[in-house]
Amino acid sequence: AHLQPQMDESSILRRADCRAKGGSPGFKVAILGAAGGIGQPLAMLMKMNPLVSVLHLYDVVNSPGVTADLSHMDTGAVVRGFLGQPQLESALTGMDLVIIPAGVPRKPGMTRDDLFNINAGIVKTLCEGVAKCCPNAIVNLISNPVNSTVPIAAEVFKKAGTYDPKRLLGVTTLDIVRANTFVAEVLGLDPREVNVPVVGGHSGVTILPLLSQVKPPSSFTPEETEYLTNRIQNGGTEVVEAKAGAGSATLSMAYAAVKFADACLRGLRGDAGVVECAFVASEVTELPFFATKVRLGRTGAEEVYQLGPLNEYERVGLEKAKEELAGSIQKGIAFIKK
Ligand code: NAI
């Protein structure tokens, strides 16, 4: 018989805590929906993130396999798997950051709103768990339609008496990632040098790229503006159609989710000047939620930035975005209040 190396839960967590005390700030991160198309590459990238000491992988299927697989990677984070509703509370207890990509993705011909009926209930259940087991955690909500699931989460937290708007962030980073890529192509630049603010929400016309604020400062012809705005707004559909029924963006989304989660962890650590776009509770417009640049700090989204100067094209886009967003936000709130 060969020796089976054994480490119980407490010694594993001691190891992670020790590492945290030894300089590297170990954060505890849970991924809910970790066995999915986004969840798996997201879990892998988080297992590689030096800011993570403990990684909890929760799903209603296949999380033991994903956990066993990732646990063999020789990176610092300790990975634990949790399967099904009875294990949700253990998955969430003690977490600093909870990333939620649970839910069904789009198929060709579907809008993000078509996902509402299934995903609204999933997000509600998972957020009730967060309110109960880790009410101080930062939540990164990926499940679509983000324009409605963030208001749903807010209502769940309000009901539970744990709502802190700074800690609830809808992930729109993929829109910025796409915008940087497509704008860099037009400008003939390396995408790593380009920064495009994308505001509003995360669906169709609510995705509003502010090309007048691109860094480095650039100007675009009306044709370029039209092409880029359309492509950024429909980037998700481009992938849904190419995948032809097999789902929506997963790999670029996992990359974007980790870019955003890493920014949240750097904020939690106390790094200065961490700024990303996110869909948050907001007073920037008359709507209760809106995506803009936010500054991430020890308590979450500590500062929500104003839109800055818009050109005429963007002002028209803003009005369209607000009209659609208002309905999606209301739909989310009504789902919990009904
Ligand atoms: P997928 O179907 O491949 O994976 C979803 C995972 O969620 C599955 O493993 C499933 O078992 C799990 N799940 C279902 N119900 C659950 C529950 N009650 N608790 C825990 N886990 C549960 O879907 P994919 O491609 O990973 O997409 C996930 C979500 O992310 C979709 O809603 C999609 O629309 C959204 N999305 C959001 C983006 C954004 O920019 N915010 C971009 C791309 C997708």
User: pLDDT class for 111, splitting at 50, 70, 90?
Assistant: confident
By alpha-carbon position, which residue is closest to atom 18 of ligand 1? 122
Q: Name the token pair of 141.
A: 């909500």
Query: Is 317 part of any known ligand binding site?
Result: no
Question: Is-contact 295 305, C-beta < 8 A?
Answer: yes
User: pLDDT class for 12, splitting at 50, 70, 90?
Assistant: low
Question: Is-contact 163 133, C-beta < 8 A?
Answer: no
Residue 172 Cα, ligand 1 centroid: separation in angstroms? 15
Residue 115 Cα, ligand 1 centroid: separation in angstroms? 10
- In angstroms, the CA 168 to CA 318 distance is 23
Query: Is 106 part of any known ligand binding site?
Result: yes
Q: So what's the pLDDT on residue 106?
A: 85
- pTM confidence score: 0.95
Q: Which DSSP string do the residues of 199-231 spell out, in sequence order? A: EE-SSGGGEEE-GGG-BS-----HHHHHHHHHH
2 catalytic per annotation:
no
Query: Is 38 part of any known ligand binding site?
Result: yes
In whole numbers, what is the pLDDT of the chain averaged over residues? 94
Residue 319 Cα, ligand 1 centroid: separation in angstroms? 30
Q: Which DSSP string do the residues of 25-49 spell out, in sequence order? A: -PEEEEEETTTSTTHHHHHHHHHT-
- Give the ipTM of the model, two decimals please: 0.99
Would you say residue 1 has pLDDT above 70? no
- In angstroms, the CA 131 to CA 159 distance is 9
Q: So what's the pLDDT on residue 107?
A: 84
- In angstroms, the CA 99 to CA 97 distance is 7
Which residues are near ligand 1 (CB < 6 Å)?
32-33, 35-39, 59-61, 101-106, 115, 119, 122, 125-126, 142-144, 146, 171, 174, 202, 247-250, 253
* Residue 142 Cα: closest atom of ligand 1: 41
User: pLDDT class for 22, splitting at 50, 70, 90?
Assistant: low
